[in-house]
Structure 1
Amino acid sequence: MGAESGTARLVLGTMYYGTRVDRERAYALMDRFVEAGGVWLDTANCYSFWADPSGVGGASERVIGEWLRARSGVRGEVRIATKVRQDPRVPHRWPESAEGLSSDAVLAGVAGSVERLGIDSIDLLWAHAEDRSVPLTETVTAFGELVDRGVVSRVGAANHPAWRVEQARVLARSMGAEPWSALQLRHSLVQPRPGAALPDDGHRLLTGDDLDYADSEGLDVWAYTPLLNGGYVRADRPFPPVYDHPGTIRALRTLDDVAAETGATRNQVVLAWLLAQGIGPIIGVSDLAQLDEALDAAHVTLKDEHMSRFAAAR
């Protein structure tokens, strides 16, 4: 899963850039992130259609592209990850008009992303979710073609089960195409009740099997929603009801103990816990104070006994 520094493995989430986060704040966040040694920006062609009056995505990529053009030389300091699959083809008509993962949809989606970002190539392209209506061979071929053409450097799978990723990797190898080499799933210290449905459409939880699979195959792992939308520290943003169970109480008690012992905040300890497992947390912050707190998590060292206590609590 790589030997990058903690700061370099933190990923800046840009979901609401151009919608809930205006251009000025977005620029300030990306500037600070790069100054601190951050590398990866994570976006998607569909961000954020549900918050945009247009009813379609593209705002986040446009803001990133404008920032890249306004900051001479910064393209050499950052890597850009984006996604295809979910952007509505008909405004305000999701999921029924979501673009999907057909060859035509993938190629057209990436062409739009490259234009909005104003870059020659995408460093990491994610399949944002499964599309069982399309043969997996077709999707794998389209992703491989983009790599062959130099439009994309690497490819990965977000919100896919491990067995499906393995199927795609086997197909890619058999065709001589670039295989998916990264996983992106939802993960945090506190977990919902086993079997309970998440309140967010399309989210898929990271499992122990996913981590074992990634470790055995040498895949990178990124985790989104690591801080549960502020639930660890904000009383006005409680965890959803699916997190209401004894394991949450035990995990939070241990979290507070470890935070006191390390002198870190709850959020920082959660991010450090992910980093200690080789997972890249995607930090979706909306102001500089939140970003600085998250960046400082890269300097929090958790001991083996801390990790053992967390494992026992969960």
Structure 2
Amino acid sequence: MKYRTIGTDPAHRRDVSVLALGAMLFGSRTDEKTSFAILDRYVEAGGNFVDTSDNYAFWEDGGQGGQSEELLGRWRRSRGVGDEVVVATKVGARPLAPGTSYTDNPEGLSAKVIREAAERSRERLGMDRLDLLYAHIDDHTVPQRETVEGFAALVAEGVVGLLGVSNQAVWRVERARALAAAAGLPGYEVLQYAHSHLRPRTDIPDDLFPDGSLGHAGPELLGYLRAEPALTLVAYSPLLKGAYTRQERPLPGDYDHPGTPARLAVLRDVARETGATVNQVVLAWQLGGDLPVVPLAGASSPAQLEENLAAVDLELSPDQRARLDTVH
């Protein structure tokens, strides 16, 4: 396994494996025995960066979520796992009542909610301190200063280490970070957005992001990363939920545009040249790029995890990387 450092404060920064493991469906669609086997193998291979959220996976049973955090808590206790495994979780998008959704009834990002949600996450996970806590989605109903101060208070109290943000417009991220810096408070240092080799259209609003595809790491966010080298991008859905390789999983509709076939063709060419799978090429492309990107890949079986782990040691040639980078 290889590692990179996230965070800048010596008291809170962590060395994490370059491949993060998504636990979204652990404890719901992925049963406990399989989930434990995947987690055990990931740690055995040197992985130490596991991602969850307080709302995973509310849609599986019409509830409010918490299954993933609860399973990770059981796994941590049964294996005696301590702070050697970095666990990231999120607040802000848990439905307030069963049968509702974060699109119409989210918990939000008030200081009160941040504190109470973080405490519930700590209890479910069995952790005295949350290693990394994200603002999961934006909340325009609460002053940003309140949100910034709410997160910072938990860091000051020692119950949260690093702070992150997901699915927000870049200008909102920058404003929040500027507010924190001006007040001498810890701010967001890890950004979690959807990012893969294929590029989605960003001009079609969808239900989750009415202002456009804010959940995707588009050119603006990638440019922001280049301007702020202390930040790290954790790239969720790098493998597009299996759509690269599984015929029964068509590409999402926003990837249906004239630029997609050429990028798919280059991926397949490089896969043939290297003897790797297309999924492994996508992960290796992210891992070896010039930006600090940590792919966040889920797995529903140990075999899927093994495929992903093998990408860590896949070296793309300069020519292959140039072709992957420059195709339009």
**Could you say which TM-score interval applies, normalised by the shorter chain?**
over 0.9
C-alpha spacing 1:90/1:141, structure 2 compared with 1 (3 Å):
same
1:285 is aligned to: 299
Q: Determine the structure 2 residue equivalent to 1:144.
A: 152
Match of 1:86 among 79, 93, 107: 93
Aligned match of 1:26 in 31, 35, 58? 35
Identity, in percent, stands at 43
User: Which moved further from structure 2: 262-271 or 92-101?
Assistant: 92-101
Correspondence 1:177-256 to 2 at 5 A: 177-197=185-205, 204-217=215-228, 218-256=230-268
Aligned positions, number: 310
Residue 246 of structure 2 aligns to a residue in which SS? coil
How far is 1:251 from its partner?
Answer: 0.7
Deviations 1:111-164 (A, max 9, x none): 100000011101100000110110000000000000000010000110112221
| Partner in structure 2 of residue 135 of structure 1 | 143
Going by fraction, where is helix more abundant, 1 or 2?
1
TM-score, normalization by structure 1: 0.94
Could you say if the C-alpha distance between residues 253 and 199 of structure 1 is closer, same or farther in structure 2, counting changes exceeding 3 Å? Answer: farther
Q: How does 1:56-95 map to 2 (within 5 A)?
A: 56-72=64-80, 74-94=81-101, 95=103
Structure 1 portions without partners, runs of 5+: none
Does the CA contact (< 8 Å) of 1:7 and 1:37 recur in 2?
Answer: no
* CA apart distance, 1:245: 2.2
Aligned to 1:156: 164
Q: Is the 8 A contact 2:51 2:87 kept in 1?
A: yes
Query: Structure 1 residue 17: deviation in Å?
Result: 1.0
Give 2:183's aligned residue: 175
Asked if 2 retains the 8 angstrom alpha-carbon contact of 1:84 and 1:127, the reply is yes
CA distance in 2, matches of 1:16, 1:135: 32
Q: Do the aligned partners of 1:232 and 1:266 also contact (CA within 8 Å) in 2? A: yes
Q: State the one-letter code of the partner of 2:312.
A: A
Q: Could you tell me how far apart the structure 1 residues matched to 2:161 and 2:202 are?
A: 37
TM-score (norm 2): 0.90
* Amino acid paired to 2:176: A
- Aligned equivalents of 2:260 and 2:77: distance in 1? 45
Contact 1:268 1:293 in 2 (8 A): yes
1:161 partner letter: A
Deviations 1:175-199 (A, max 9, x none): 2211110111111111123413457
Compare 302-311 and 184-193 and name the one that shifted more. 302-311
Q: 2:234 aligns to what SS in structure 1?
A: strand
Q: Is the 8 A contact 2:130 2:161 kept in 1?
A: yes
Native 8 Å contact 2:168 2:214 kept in 1 = no
Contact 2:96 2:107 in 1 (8 A): yes
Taking a change above 3 Å as real, the CA distance of residues 11 and 203 of structure 1, as seen in their structure-2 partners, is farther
- Runs of 5+ in structure 2 lacking a partner? 6-14
RMSD: 1.8
2:280 aligned residue: 268
**Residues in 2 aligned to 1:215 and 1:242: alpha-carbon distance in whole angstroms:** 25
Task: Report the CA distance between 1:289 and its aligned residue.
Answer: 0.4
Identify the residue that residue 9 of structure 1 maps to in structure 2: 18
Measured against aligned partners, the alpha-carbon deviations of 1:65-105 in whole angstroms (never above 9, x if no partner) come to 00000002x22321010000111111111233210000111
Deviates more, 1:175-184 or 1:211-220: 211-220
Deviation for aligned residue 1:209: 2.4
Q: Deviations over 1:22-43 (max 9, x none)?
A: 1111111110000001111000
CA distance in structure 1 between the aligned counterparts of 2:215 and 2:30, rounded to whole angstroms? 25
**CA shift at 1:312, angstroms?**
2.4
In 2: Cα distance, 1:76 partner to 1:176 partner = 27
